[in-house]
Amino acid sequence: MAQAKKHLWANMIHSVNDIWPLIQVIFEHNDLVKEASEAIQNIKVDFGEKTEEASKIIKFLNYKNKYELEELGIADRIETILEVNKVISKRDMMIQLEEKCQNMKLVVNRFFDKFEVLR
Protein backbone atom coordinates (compact mmCIF):
# COMPACT_ATOMS: atom_id res chain seq x y z
CA MET A 1 0.00 0.00 0.00
CA ALA A 2 2.78 2.45 0.94
CA GLN A 3 4.58 1.65 -2.29
CA ALA A 4 1.42 2.42 -4.28
CA LYS A 5 1.08 5.82 -2.55
CA LYS A 6 4.72 6.66 -3.31
CA HIS A 7 4.19 5.68 -6.94
CA LEU A 8 1.01 7.77 -7.13
CA TRP A 9 2.74 10.83 -5.64
CA ALA A 10 5.72 10.37 -7.95
CA ASN A 11 3.38 10.31 -10.96
CA MET A 12 1.55 13.41 -9.74
CA ILE A 13 4.78 15.33 -9.13
CA HIS A 14 6.05 14.31 -12.56
CA SER A 15 2.79 15.48 -14.18
CA VAL A 16 2.94 18.82 -12.36
CA ASN A 17 6.57 19.26 -13.39
CA ASP A 18 5.60 18.62 -17.00
CA ILE A 19 2.86 21.25 -17.07
CA TRP A 20 4.46 23.82 -14.76
CA PRO A 21 6.21 25.72 -17.61
CA LEU A 22 2.81 26.05 -19.32
CA ILE A 23 1.25 27.34 -16.13
CA GLN A 24 4.02 29.93 -15.84
CA VAL A 25 3.26 31.06 -19.41
CA ILE A 26 -0.38 31.57 -18.47
CA PHE A 27 0.66 33.68 -15.47
CA GLU A 28 2.86 35.75 -17.80
CA HIS A 29 -0.04 36.13 -20.25
CA ASN A 30 -2.23 37.29 -17.42
CA ASP A 31 0.31 39.98 -16.49
CA LEU A 32 0.62 41.07 -20.12
CA VAL A 33 -3.14 41.29 -20.52
CA LYS A 34 -3.31 43.49 -17.42
CA GLU A 35 -0.59 45.77 -18.81
CA ALA A 36 -2.29 45.94 -22.20
CA SER A 37 -5.64 46.76 -20.59
CA GLU A 38 -4.05 49.61 -18.64
CA ALA A 39 -2.38 50.92 -21.81
CA ILE A 40 -5.69 50.77 -23.67
CA GLN A 41 -7.39 52.79 -20.95
CA ASN A 42 -4.61 55.39 -21.14
CA ILE A 43 -5.00 55.59 -24.92
CA LYS A 44 -8.75 56.04 -24.54
CA VAL A 45 -8.13 58.97 -22.22
CA ASP A 46 -5.57 60.46 -24.62
CA PHE A 47 -7.88 60.04 -27.61
CA GLY A 48 -10.85 61.53 -25.80
CA GLU A 49 -12.98 63.25 -28.41
CA LYS A 50 -10.34 63.16 -31.15
CA THR A 51 -12.05 60.45 -33.20
CA GLU A 52 -15.31 62.38 -33.26
CA GLU A 53 -13.40 65.52 -34.21
CA ALA A 54 -11.58 63.61 -36.95
CA SER A 55 -14.87 62.44 -38.44
CA LYS A 56 -16.22 66.00 -38.37
CA ILE A 57 -13.04 67.32 -40.03
CA ILE A 58 -13.31 64.73 -42.81
CA LYS A 59 -16.95 65.67 -43.46
CA PHE A 60 -15.99 69.34 -43.39
CA LEU A 61 -13.18 68.80 -45.91
CA ASN A 62 -15.40 66.77 -48.21
CA TYR A 63 -17.94 69.60 -48.45
CA LYS A 64 -15.43 72.35 -49.27
CA ASN A 65 -14.47 73.20 -52.80
CA LYS A 66 -10.94 73.71 -54.04
CA TYR A 67 -10.97 77.49 -53.48
CA GLU A 68 -12.32 77.22 -49.95
CA LEU A 69 -9.64 74.67 -49.13
CA GLU A 70 -6.93 76.97 -50.54
CA GLU A 71 -8.23 79.78 -48.32
CA LEU A 72 -7.84 77.44 -45.35
CA GLY A 73 -4.27 76.64 -46.42
CA ILE A 74 -5.07 73.08 -47.49
CA ALA A 75 -3.32 72.26 -50.73
CA ASP A 76 -4.27 68.59 -51.01
CA ARG A 77 -7.66 67.46 -49.70
CA ILE A 78 -6.94 63.73 -50.06
CA GLU A 79 -3.60 63.90 -48.28
CA THR A 80 -5.18 65.87 -45.43
CA ILE A 81 -8.08 63.43 -45.15
CA LEU A 82 -5.68 60.49 -45.11
CA GLU A 83 -3.70 62.17 -42.34
CA VAL A 84 -6.83 62.83 -40.28
CA ASN A 85 -8.07 59.30 -40.98
CA LYS A 86 -5.03 57.92 -39.12
CA VAL A 87 -6.72 58.93 -35.87
CA ILE A 88 -9.77 56.85 -36.77
CA SER A 89 -7.59 53.93 -37.85
CA LYS A 90 -5.69 54.04 -34.56
CA ARG A 91 -8.97 54.01 -32.66
CA ASP A 92 -10.15 50.99 -34.67
CA MET A 93 -6.90 49.18 -33.95
CA MET A 94 -7.26 50.00 -30.27
CA ILE A 95 -10.80 48.57 -30.27
CA GLN A 96 -9.55 45.35 -31.89
CA LEU A 97 -6.73 45.12 -29.35
CA GLU A 98 -9.20 45.65 -26.53
CA GLU A 99 -11.42 42.85 -27.85
CA LYS A 100 -8.44 40.49 -28.09
CA CYS A 101 -7.41 41.37 -24.54
CA GLN A 102 -10.91 40.66 -23.30
CA ASN A 103 -10.90 37.30 -25.08
CA MET A 104 -7.52 36.47 -23.56
CA LYS A 105 -8.82 37.49 -20.12
CA LEU A 106 -11.73 35.08 -20.53
CA VAL A 107 -9.44 32.20 -21.46
CA VAL A 108 -6.99 32.94 -18.65
CA ASN A 109 -9.81 33.33 -16.12
CA ARG A 110 -11.32 30.00 -17.21
CA PHE A 111 -7.94 28.37 -16.69
CA PHE A 112 -7.57 29.93 -13.24
CA ASP A 113 -11.06 28.74 -12.32
CA LYS A 114 -10.10 25.18 -13.24
CA PHE A 115 -6.67 25.54 -11.67
CA GLU A 116 -8.25 26.72 -8.39
CA VAL A 117 -10.02 23.36 -8.13
CA LEU A 118 -6.63 21.62 -8.23
CA ARG A 119 -5.28 23.71 -5.37
What pLDDT digit, counting tens, does each position of 12-31 carry? 677 767 777 878 888 888 89
**DSSP-derived secondary structure letter, 107:** H
- CA–CA distance, 82 with 24 (Å, rounded to integer): 43
Segment among 12-16, 64-68, 105-109, 114-118 with least mean pLDDT: 12-16
Residue 118 reports pLDDT greater than 70: no
Under 8 Å between Cβ of 47 and 118: no
Residue 32 reports pLDDT greater than 80: yes
Residue 109 reports pLDDT greater than 70: yes
DSSP 25-68: HHHHHHHHHHHHHHHHHHHHHHHTTHHHHHHHHHHHHHHS-HHH
Query: Residue 95: which H helix or E strand, with range?
Result: helix 77-118
Query: Residue 7: which H helix or E strand, with range?
Result: helix 2-47
User: Please, which pLDDT band fits residue 1 given cuts at 50, 70 and 90?
Assistant: low
Q: Which long-range contacts (CB under 8 A, 24 or more apart) does 19-22 make?
A: none
**The model's pTM:** 0.64
- CA–CA distance, 26 with 19 (Å, rounded to integer): 11
Task: Tell me the CA end-to-end span of the chain in Å, nearest whole number.
Answer: 25
